[in-house]
Structure 1
Amino acid sequence: MNWDPARPLIVQNDLSVLLETHHSDFEYVRSTLSRFADLIKTPEHLHTYRITPLSLWNAAAAGMRVDEMTAFLQKYAKFDVPTGVMSSIRKYSMRYGLLRLENVGKELYLVSDDTVVLKEICTYDSINGYLQDARGDRAIAISPEYRGLLKQELTKLGYPVEDMAAYRRGEFVRIPLLDNMEDVEVPFQLRDYQKHAVDAFQRIGDGRGIGSGVLVLPCGAGKTIVGIAAMARCSCATLILTSNVTSVRQWKREILEKTGLTEEQVGEYNGTCKEVRPITIATYQILTHRGKRDDEFSHLHLFSEREWGLIIYDEVHLLPAPVFRATAEIQATRRLGLTATLIREDGREKDVFSLVGPKRYEMAWKELESKGWIATVTCKEIRVPLSSQDRDLYVASGARQQFRIAGENTAKLEVIDDLLQLHANEQTLIIGQYINQLEQIADHTGAPMISGGMSHDDREKLYQRFKEGSLPLLIVSKVANFAVDLPDAAVAIQVSGSYGSRQEEAQRLGRILRPKRKGANEAVFYSLISEDTKEQDFAIKRQLFLVEQGYRYSISPRNTVR
């Protein structure tokens, strides 16, 4: 057996990969490995990744070749890479594209050059209802209405389909970008990586019918701009689905500022306003609304209200189950998913892959940071002992209540005071899960609080004051996790969160990633964690996202703040 102790990787038979964190090549190895493997756990000295079929399919869809993956592992592994691992990488990577959906005339075919595989899948009862007659040895006709369901089921069976079938044109809408308009005083320019992301979605010039997929870009990288550029390329009626009303208004604002579209062409569709226009922006909440549990969803008809040529799923990792079902029925419409993380708390990443599309492009957070497009962030966890009163209550409570007691630990107030003093001249957000806790902090600091019970207009006024600098401290509940543009926020203090949600950690970090308009382009993300509690156990899982993106995550006792 060959081995080289100076190399940073240990590749194991079960497709797990161990990475030494103190190696001089750590950053490069981490960023390359994360293209085709998922981070599992992050003890201080040795991070664990796992290579999965889905991670390999996404890598293949994004253009990473099998020989790139295997050569990389061979170059950086301490020991010989197990033969079984090499064969599994080849086997699963090559499954992507083994089955294809293609148009032949007016018919839709499931096609494969491997006649054995095509015969094998015909034996599965779960897909028989979607298949029609064979067209020779290498093709089977399918009904277009089953396009999404067939892809979804074949992905579950381990045979991801490369969808190369045509997409309908949709209703034509001219969408000129202001960077292309000569009479604009201050045109904006797409950044290089934004152009690359749009090109990856459309696969310009390769002659293939690509029109679906997911673009993974950090918060603050301009995902909205990428979506608008994709709209302009497609020049068609577009339905944009996003997380909340604040995000709807942000999309509308950006569209009107950066395109030649008029106010009359851009509609909002939410609980209070239902405009169906050539460009329509709706919330996931309104699409999944129903009067009673057994009622039909009242607004899913929006998918058929116009001849949409493109549907954009903002924050695609939040896509609710009813929208998945509707998406399965509209596979002939181009679909673009935008997200900062493909992690889903419900484990339905494969459904995003099969129904919205595979990952087409991903930009590393640290790479954007190094170029100054997002702020340089320091991540710090501060361990806070429970107050004596909370400790007694904690010991006497059940597991679920213990987590909340730890989150609302009253001893965190003193740490907040110290941090606010330390960052006295910086725009600061305090973010938390529990309204009672946030109200207590608001009373203690005298700062205003934003929660779901506040009207959207009142929220916007506070956000605007914060942006202008007249409000240096703002306390926000989880309603601010998504799509809130606060470019000068330089400090975030997370006082409580949703168990081990890596997804939430990504979004909260995103509140301070926007490049700063003045001073140093730097920010600090604090997490206040109650020491030796269930909150500390869940915090380890939340750290995974930050470490996966390349951030150093320091842990300090409470007495180091002062």
Structure 2
Amino acid sequence: MLKRKSGPLVVLEDGTVLLDDAHPGAEKAREALAGFAELVKRPGTMHTYRMTPLSVWNAASQGKPAEEILDCLEANARYGVPGAAAGRVKQWLSRYGELELTSIEDGMLLLSGPAARLREITDECIASWGAARAADGIAVPGDRRGDLKRELLRMGMPVVDHAGYREGEALRIGLRGELPSGKPFRLRDYQLQAVERFCRDGVQGEGGSGVIVLPCGAGKTVVGAAALARLGCATLILTSGTTSVRQWRRELVEKTTIAEDDIGEYTGENKQVRPVTIASYQIMGRRGSGGHMDLFSRRDWGLIIYDEVHLLPAPVFRLTAELQATRRLGLTATLVREDGRAEDVFSLIGPKLFELPWKALEREGWIAAVSCREVRVPLPEEDGETYDGAGARAQLRLAGENPRKAEAVRRLLERHPGKPALVIGQYLRQLSSLGRELEAPVLSGSTPPEEREELYSRFNSGSLPVLVVSKVANFAIDMPDAAVAIQVSGSYGSRQEEAQRIGRLLRPKEDNRAYFYTVVTDGTKETEFALKRQLFMIEQGYTYEIAEKGSL
């Protein structure tokens, strides 16, 4: 019989870990667990995590050895760690670093590692790369670097890439010590750590490619600017849209010594290719004659920054496989990808190099403390029969556009008079109706860039107390004073979207408090999807209070 301890974790043989959220040690255990496991569901107080090869390899990329992971599990496990689970962790971690890629002559690369591991790679696979077996490994053409890493990762063999990077076109740029406003400027400690981890080129293969994970409001753009300044090379920045293109430009002008004429905007309106060029994913992903993928070869880029890397579209993934000789920096608040392409981020952009838990930054005052509440409202009786007879997609829309949500939104806004508030949703008809009822403007994907900038400016200045926004609020928009967000509908069970929307509230404030509400229709599929949406935030240590409309 297993000896029972008092820990909050129950570790199962298949790598599943149950966290007892009611246990006094749950918060500390959760923070550690998030470093090498992923939350998959949370029925009641028992939250289910799963350790996977990818989650463990990301931990290894940040320097976590098997002993540290197993010690954490053992210290918190109620019944100890089963030998099979420990064996899985050790086996996965033993794979990380076994295979290495180095540069040899004539543009060729050498894949080296234990002979037994190399023999697992089939001759057919080697031939598909145009590679050949050699006495000391496998010789691979340099232009198949990305294909090789992606394919081997899918085979359970992560490759540590030591093959190096091109220098790129030199650029004179540094960080300012003082902002144009006269306020002193320096990197926060964690921002400096993130830059150091990325720029450690040649140190055990850790530098030059990888992902930095920090919550919205923690200064990911500053980390990107600092990496650019440290490397001093021509840089292509890809981001979510025209608004964020302009925000990147403002940040670079404000915080670095770069000349404004050296920054180009590559959007639907401008096609400027300069030493630092900022483009949107939308324009890069266009098909046919309107495509702009040649931007990747228009200059000798020494660095490519993928802002909001969790949004990276498939066409950019495909081209990134060919750009492995260029340094690549991914920035994101969450590595969650609902399309299952997290492996492509790992193999083509790079492993997770640096991450800080959201609650750790909250404790230090770098981001606002956010209270989360789920508000459940009933479906009107007259819509009940229609809902019961509808298909799954129609049911979700009926629940999402529930007209009774409007009253809940008004009452929630009344709870926070004077606080800048966002009302966020999925369906334009619903948002238009709310805009009329609240006498607030509606900002959507069809809103022209100039009008968007005006609305953001009015909101940030305090002259616009409430702004109704569509999915454009999921992306990198800068509204530092937003203190309340009310979500009225969303994209199914998207954990990524939930994190991005809460991220709009995280900029530090005078009282450093913010409030996030998600309004869902009780007794419908929307409540099921709400549970899925909340998984990433729960993993970060946030809790959602459940309230009925009458108890607002």
TM-score range, shorter chain: over 0.9
Can you list the C-alpha shifts for 1:348-404, whole angstroms capped at 9, x where unaligned?
A: 000000000000011100000000000000110011101223323322322211100
Q: Where does residue 129 of structure 2 map in the other structure?
A: 130
1:511 aligns with 2:504: yes
Matched residue type, 1:23: H
Q: Where does residue 364 of structure 2 map in the other structure?
A: 371
Distance 1:139 1:198 in 2: 33
Distance 2:293 2:526 in 1: 38
Distance 1:22 1:125 in 2: 52
Closer/same/farther in 2, CA of residues 149 and 361 from structure 1, 3 Å limit: same
Distance 1:213 1:175 in 2: 22
Structure 2 unaligned segments of length 5 or more: list them. none
Q: Where does residue 139 of structure 1 map in the other structure?
A: 137
Q: Where does residue 281 of structure 2 map in the other structure?
A: 284
Q: TM-score, normalised by structure 1?
A: 0.96
Matched residue type, 1:530: T
Q: Where does residue 449 of structure 1 map in the other structure?
A: 442
Q: What pairs up with 1:531-542 in 2 under 5 angstroms?
A: 531-542=522-533
1:21 aligns with 2:21: yes
Moved over 6 A (4+): none
Closer/same/farther in 2, CA of residues 297 and 158 from structure 1, 3 Å limit: farther
Contact 2:420 2:462 in 1 (8 A): yes
Contact 1:546 1:553 in 2 (8 A): no
Closer/same/farther in 2, CA of residues 209 and 77 from structure 1, 3 Å limit: closer
Contact 1:431 1:494 in 2 (8 A): yes
Closer/same/farther in 2, CA of residues 257 and 116 from structure 1, 3 Å limit: same
Can you list the C-alpha shifts for 1:488-541, whole angstroms capped at 9, x where unaligned?
A: 11110000000001110011001111111x3x1000100000000111111110
Q: What pairs up with 1:374-453 in 2 under 5 angstroms?
A: 374-453=367-446
Q: Where does residue 179 of structure 1 map in the other structure?
A: 177
Distance 2:436 2:522 in 1: 25
Matched residue type, 1:367: A
Can you list the C-alpha shifts for 1:453-501, whole angstroms capped at 9, x where unaligned?
A: 1111101111111101111111101112111111111110000000001
Shift in Å, 1:24? 1.5
Matched residue type, 1:78: R
Answer with 196-205 or 437-446: which moved more: 196-205
Q: What pairs up with 1:219-230 in 2 under 5 angstroms?
A: 219-230=216-227
Q: Where does residue 78 of structure 2 map in the other structure?
A: 78
Can you list the C-alpha shifts for 1:160-214, whole angstroms capped at 9, x where unaligned?
A: 1011111000000011110289x99433111000001111112278365731000
SS at match of 1:178: coil
Contact 2:365 2:508 in 1 (8 A): yes
Q: Where does residue 262 of structure 2 map in the other structure?
A: 265
Q: Where does residue 87 of structure 1 map in the other structure?
A: 87
Matched residue type, 1:126: C
Closer/same/farther in 2, CA of residues 218 and 152 from structure 1, 3 Å limit: same
Structure 1 unaligned segments of length 5 or more: list them. none
Distance 1:497 1:503 in 2: 11
Answer with 201-210 or 20-29: which moved more: 201-210
Q: Where does residue 461 of structure 1 map in the other structure?
A: 454
Contact 1:219 1:513 in 2 (8 A): yes
SS at match of 1:483: coil
Contact 2:174 2:230 in 1 (8 A): no
Distance 2:330 2:393 in 1: 34
Q: Where does residue 549 of structure 1 map in the other structure?
A: 540
Matched residue type, 2:368: A
SS at match of 1:367: helix
Shift in Å, 1:129? 2.4
Q: Where does residue 328 of structure 1 map in the other structure?
A: 321
Shift in Å, 1:62? 1.1
Can you list the C-alpha shifts for 1:253-290, whole angstroms capped at 9, x where unaligned?
A: 10011111122100000111100000000011101112
Shift in Å, 1:86? 0.9
Answer with 108-117 or 341-350: which moved more: 108-117
1:56 aligns with 2:56: yes
Distance 1:546 1:113 in 2: 39
Distance 1:49 1:206 in 2: 32
Q: TM-score, normalised by structure 2?
A: 0.97
Match of residue 482, structure 1, among 463, 475, 478: 475
Contact 1:108 1:165 in 2 (8 A): no
Distance 1:158 1:264 in 2: 46
Match of residue 301, structure 1, among 294, 304, 309: 294
Closer/same/farther in 2, CA of residues 448 and 209 from structure 1, 3 Å limit: closer
Q: Where does residue 275 of structure 1 map in the other structure?
A: 272
Identity %: 53
Match of residue 191, structure 1, among 165, 184, 188: 188
Matched residue type, 1:368: L
Matched residue type, 1:37: A
Q: How many residue pairs are counted as aligned between the two chains?
A: 552
Distance 2:21 2:153 in 1: 34
Contact 1:287 1:297 in 2 (8 A): no
Matched residue type, 2:4: D
Distance 1:269 1:50 in 2: 41
Distance 2:243 2:282 in 1: 13
Contact 2:213 2:331 in 1 (8 A): yes
Contact 2:112 2:138 in 1 (8 A): no
Q: Please, what is the CA RMSD of the aligned residues?
A: 1.6
Distance 1:495 1:190 in 2: 37
Matched residue type, 2:170: F
1:233 aligns with 2:230: yes
Shift in Å, 1:107? 4.9
Distance 1:132 1:496 in 2: 50
